[in-house]
Amino acid sequence: MHVKIEKLSKSFKIFKRNPGLKSAIKSFIKRDFFMFDALKNINLEIPSGEILGILGENGAGKTTLIKLIVGLLHPTSGTILVDKYTPWERDYSYLEKVSVVMGQKNQLWWDIPASESFLLNKHIYNIEENKYDKILNELVDLLDVRDKIDIQVRRLSLGERMKMEIIASLLHSPSIVLLDEPTLGLDVISQSKIREFVKYHNEQYKTTFVITSHYTKDIQEMCERVFVLNKGEQIYDGDFKELINNINPSRKLVYVLPENYNKKLIEDLSNSFQFELNENIITAELSESILQDLLSKLLNIIPPLSFLFEDLPVEETMKSFFENPNKYIK
């Protein structure tokens, strides 16, 4: 499904709490409020079949945007069209085509097995028996939870529960799926399996996915395009790798020298390049071109025992970005 958002804003009326007993008593008579702008003038277009990542710190407006797209909130101003549908009108035809998974909120019944919640969804969406069995079997096998679906939901691990939530969200074959923090609190293996599943499902069925996450690794591995929010404002919309390179174009070289290396040659090289030498291991964090130049000279003067390139941690790169986004975006 194609999503088009224009001049979208959302404000909330927030009760103002003043300190002290006198202010607390006064608030019973007259309450003071202020308007909090969760989203300001958002413009965004999501082509059908894309996996879009939405990044932002706490309070940036990510979850608010998800709730507006799915129709759980009304905007203060602006428009959203998902194909021909306006989400908050709650047209049943639209609800059949959309699904949402909120990572911090359970949608499955807590005290019964997930399989019984799946049956409930089957009746809500009027899914034919054969189609339901085929979809359920495929999803259960892909997420490797066949031995878990008949266990009470409250007894499942966080990762297992999230897999069940994703299965429930896909049973009716939605055209667009919104995942809000789908890997929050999960172990590394569960995170990886969910990322791989999302990519596979998108490739197989061309489902549109909109994903928010605190974990930049999620976005890096699942999305080519990223939409970045900061304090309710959009500050970037484009290629994720390009953004990372703009923030920090450096890479890391680890070069292991033989134990009897010529120290004078390395000392001379340190006059031209910045690197650290710890015993017989050289590490350097430099731009790609300078790093290649350094590697070429090292290979010419002292062949290594081994060497490798590493990308700098993307989490640290994005942390630097959010501390001062204007430095990197023009």
Per-residue confidence (pLDDT) for residue 23, from 0 to 100: 65
Buried b / exposed e over 223-234, threshold 16 CB at 10 Å, is: bebbbbbbebbb
99 in Cβ contact with 139 (< 8 Å):
no
Regarding predicted confidence, which is higher, 318 or 203? 203
Q: Superfamily for 250-311? A: ACT-like. Chain A, domain 2 (3.30.70.1150)
Where do the structural domains in the chain lie, given as residue ranges?
Answer: 3-17+32-245, 250-311
Tell me which of 106-110, 222-226, 310-314 is least confident.
310-314
Q: In percent, how much of the chain has pLDDT > 70?
A: 96
- With residue 115 as reference, give the H or E element that holds it: helix 114-124
Q: For residue 48, is pLDDT > 90? A: yes
pLDDT digits over 64-98, tens only? Answer: 999 999 999 999 999 999 999 999 998 989 999 99
Tell me which of 125-139, 220-234, 306-320 is least confident.
306-320
Regarding predicted confidence, which is higher, 323 or 172? 172
Distances (CA, A) of 300 to 4, 20, 55, 252, 259: 55, 73, 43, 19, 17
Confidence of residue 159 (pLDDT cuts 50, 70, 90): confident
Average pLDDT over residues 52-73: 93
Per-residue confidence (pLDDT) for residue 298, from 0 to 100: 94
Regarding predicted confidence, which is higher, 103 or 94? 94
pLDDT digits over 4-34, tens only? Answer: 999 999 999 887 777 766 666 666 677 777 8
Per-residue confidence (pLDDT) for residue 315, from 0 to 100: 76
Q: In percent, how much of the chain has pLDDT > 90?
A: 64
Helix, strand, coil % in the chain, rounded to nearest 5? 40, 30, 30
pLDDT digits over 198-238, tens only? Answer: 999 999 999 999 999 878 888 889 999 999 999 999 999 99
**What's 3-17+32-245's CATH class?**
alpha beta
